[in-house]
Amino acid sequence: MPAQVSIRPERFGALLYHFGTRRLSFLKSPELLKVVQVLADFPTARAACTDAGVSAAELPAYRAALATLAASEMIRERKPS
């Protein structure tokens, strides 16, 4: 998650705000918030989902949600260090 993105947990999930693009996004469930919070700790998004307790059947929905976040620059691929 870029430093310019601020995350605010809410009852329904979370609000995300990108200070660079000045866009607001929503995480529509607490589970998705958990995934986003641990993304950086895992080598792949799938591993982060598994850690957050996402079942195999739910993976496509999470893949789509993460792709949407990536498209709006709320999350991005980590730079090789």
Strands (E), the chain: 5-10, 13-18, 23-27
CB of 73 to other proteins, least distance (A): 13
Contact indicator for 9, 27 with CB cutoff of 8 Å = no
CB of 58 to other proteins, least distance (A): 6
Nearer to other proteins, 31 or 51 (CB): 31
End-to-end CA distance of the chain: 15
Rule CB under 8 A: is residue 6 a binding residue for other proteins?
Answer: yes
Pick the stretch among 5-13, 39-47, 67-75 that binds other proteins (CB under 8 A): 5-13
The footprint of other proteins on residues 9-48 (CB under 8 A) is 10-12, 15, 17, 19-20, 22, 24, 26, 28-29, 31-32
Angle between helices 59-71 and 30-38 (to 10 degrees): 70
